[in-house]
Structure 1
Amino acid sequence: MLDNRIVDIHLEQAEDLRGKHGKEPFETQYQLGLLLGSGGFGSVFAGQRISDGLQVAIKQISSDRVQQWARLPDNPNLVPMEIALLLRLGGETNSGKTHSGIIRMLDWFELPGRGFLIVFERPQPCQDLFDYITERGCLEEHIAQRFLRQIVEALQFCESRGIVHRDIKDENVLVDTRTRNIKIIDFGSGALIKESEYIDFEGTRVYSPPEWILHHNYHARPLTVWSLGVLLFDMVCGDIPFERDREIVQANPSFTKRISKECQSLILWCLSYRPEDRPSLEDILLHPWMETSEDIVDLSEEQNITPSL
């Protein structure tokens, strides 16, 4: 069922946007490849840009799956909110106002009567953090710290552009397996930041906070920080802390691996039951574990797994 919420989006890159709508059709610019994955969000395919052979990822979205629409400057047609948010984050522009920790939209196309195609950069070699953890088990703390720092800094950039992701999880973080640099992907559940509460949520339930489970409302920043606590636990323990609603509302994770007290402290702070007790993104970066984890000896079981290249 379509949601009729429509948001007008202000873009500093309005001139770039106007220039996009005399562009050639998708079929003359890109070649669609194999299916990479699918879900409630749509389907993602491998692809190639015909002009230079660049490898890309192409996300196909059916109009009937779009939860929120946006109106762009000088464009009479509505577009999925995801496209509007990606434009606001610097997609389709050469202005330099992008962030290396956020997947970059290269292009987008409307298919009348069928939906939309979004073309993304496709870093190589990479895998999502879910698969990265699945292959290696729990991560050494200095690796988890490197990932978390990059994720938090990327989310700070999102916040500076007035955007909340609302579905931070291991599957939505791409890892370059050579450099261990990350990129946040999938803004399909994203929204504009507001100071009032949200009463809609399209993210992943096991990453959602107690206030959503109990009251079906939440605020943007505490939601993000709670999900970061779940993600950090996932990285250092090898799995998420909560599977059931009653576990989420108890907000009392049981550490399944031996990890440093500093790391436990940060996880527990992020997973504070009361939203107002959780740290800000800035607080996370200033936490002692974020400063010292490069020197922390890994106390978890040896994994003896060589990262895939």
Structure 2
Amino acid sequence: MLDNRSVDLQLDLDVKGKCGKESFKKHYLFGELLGSGGFGSVFAGQRISDGLQVAIKQISSDRVQQWVRLPGEPNLVPMEIALLLKLGTGAGAGKCQHGVIRMLDWFKVPGQGFIIVFERPLPCQDLFDFITERGAVEESLAQRFMRQIVGALQFCEAQGIVHRDVKDENILVDIRTGDIKIIDFGSGALLKDNTYTEFEGTRVYSPPEWILHQYYHAQSLTVWSLGVLLFDMVCGDIPFERDSEIVQATPIFTKRISKECQSLVRWCLAYRPEDRPSLEDILLHPWMESSDDNGDILGEDTSLTSL
């Protein structure tokens, strides 16, 4: 069901999208389907002007949950586009852009929806596929990923944005360098201090307060999701599958994991939101500060199939 909620968003520049499918075809070529779901469909693509490889996301208007009015735009646009514009143009964007996927272009297609064009680092793989192919991640590599993910989420927070769907499928890994980018802001929202009572993210990454009471605060949701993600990385699978497991908030480690790592996971997965760490606390945790981060972190085989 289409939700007609909308907000006005002020940006520090006059941003205009392009209109029409023919306008899109003048600039880009579609490639193979990369994935699809409730968010829409994502395709490989190419920019005609210079051959740059891109990712192309199609969104139907009836799947948009929240609309935003941008300065200089006569029509409402999906919140996702507004958040990506804000992330790409806010203070510090140039410095921190490596941790957040960059939107290159967007188009409104009357009667159909929207097309968003993203950068597409190659070779790359989402963290879900990375773990599926390689198994549980060594703690030193998990530390490297966590530092980058937390740093990127801090950048989002500094720009007044909460992602709300932090999970392995939404973390893109550059296979050559080990650098990550957070993708898919389709469930994102503007940051606020009071509680949220709507959630469009992934249920098995959601915290007990949402399962039991249908509310949460932004950072405590993010930190809980990071606890699930860290467990996923070091154990090779998520800790909770059912609501009853989530509300117990007691992860059972299936691999031999250091006590320091277990400590951080359990802290992030504290039952009470107020008992969870902040993003800053996570970076200062002893496990995060004990990294032996040198050498070829991805191993000798970097020939994984790229997205």
Is this a same-fold pair by TM over 0.5? yes
Asked if the contact 2:19–2:109 (Cα under 8 Å) also holds between the matched residues in 1, the reply is no
Asked if the contact 1:90–1:97 (Cα under 8 Å) also holds between the matched residues in 2, the reply is no
1:200 pairs, out of 173, 198, 201, with: 198
Q: Superposed, which structure 2 residues align to 1:7-156 within 5 Å? A: 7-14=7-14, 17-18=15-16, 20=17, 25-90=23-88, 96=94, 99-156=97-154
Q: How far is 1:34 from its partner? A: 1.1
Residue identity opposite 1:11 in structure 2: L
Q: Distance in 1 between matches of 2:175 and 2:267?
A: 29
Asked if the contact 1:129–1:173 (Cα under 8 Å) also holds between the matched residues in 2, the reply is yes
Q: Distance in 1 between matches of 2:206 and 2:149?
A: 18
Q: Distance in 2 between matches of 1:46 and 1:36?
A: 6
Query: Aligned in 2, Cα 1:69/1:32: closer, same or farther, shift over 3 Å?
Result: same
Asked if the contact 1:47–1:57 (Cα under 8 Å) also holds between the matched residues in 2, the reply is yes
The TM-score with structure 2 as length reference comes to 0.93
Aligned partner of residue 110 in structure 1, secondary structure:
strand
Root-mean-square deviation (CA), in Å?
Answer: 2.3
Q: How far is 1:4 from its partner? A: 1.3
Q: Distance in 1 between matches of 2:82 and 2:173?
A: 25
Q: Distance in 2 between matches of 1:10 and 1:283?
A: 31
Q: Distance in 1 between matches of 2:45 and 2:234?
A: 34
User: Match of 2:208?
Assistant: 210
User: Match of 2:4?
Assistant: 4
Q: Distance in 2 between matches of 1:95 and 1:21?
A: 23
Query: Aligned in 2, Cα 1:33/1:91: closer, same or farther, shift over 3 Å?
Result: farther
Unaligned runs of 5+ in 1: 296-303
2:189 pairs, out of 184, 188, 191, with: 191
Q: Distance in 2 between matches of 1:8 and 1:98?
A: 26
Q: How far is 1:265 from its partner? A: 0.4
Aligned partner of residue 265 in structure 2, secondary structure:
helix
Q: How far is 1:33 from its partner? A: 1.1
**Are 1:247 and 2:242 matched, yes or no?**
no
The TM-score with structure 1 as length reference comes to 0.93
Unaligned runs of 5+ in 2: 294-298
Aligned partner of residue 85 in structure 2, secondary structure:
helix
Aligned partner of residue 277 in structure 2, secondary structure:
coil
Query: Aligned in 2, Cα 1:21/1:134: closer, same or farther, shift over 3 Å?
Result: closer
Aligned partner of residue 157 in structure 2, secondary structure:
helix
Aligned partner of residue 99 in structure 1, secondary structure:
helix
What CA deviation, in whole Å up to 9, does each residue of 1:68-90 have, x standing for no partner?
10000111100000000000001
Q: Superposed, which structure 2 residues align to 1:230-245 within 5 Å? A: 230-245=228-243
Aligned partner of residue 241 in structure 2, secondary structure:
coil
Q: Distance in 2 between matches of 1:156 and 1:141?
A: 22
Task: Report how many residues are paired.
Answer: 300
Aligned partner of residue 287 in structure 2, secondary structure:
helix
Q: Distance in 2 between matches of 1:164 and 1:33?
A: 31
Q: How far is 1:7 from its partner? A: 1.2
Residue identity opposite 2:228 in structure 1: V
Asked if the contact 2:80–2:188 (Cα under 8 Å) also holds between the matched residues in 1, the reply is yes
Residue identity opposite 2:13 in structure 1: Q
Q: Distance in 2 between matches of 1:94 and 1:223?
A: 24
- Taking every aligned residue pair, what percent have the same amino acid on both sides? 76
What CA deviation, in whole Å up to 9, does each residue of 1:88-118 have, x standing for no partner?
0016999736520100000000000100000
Q: Distance in 2 between matches of 1:128 and 1:95?
A: 23
User: Match of 1:270?
Assistant: 268
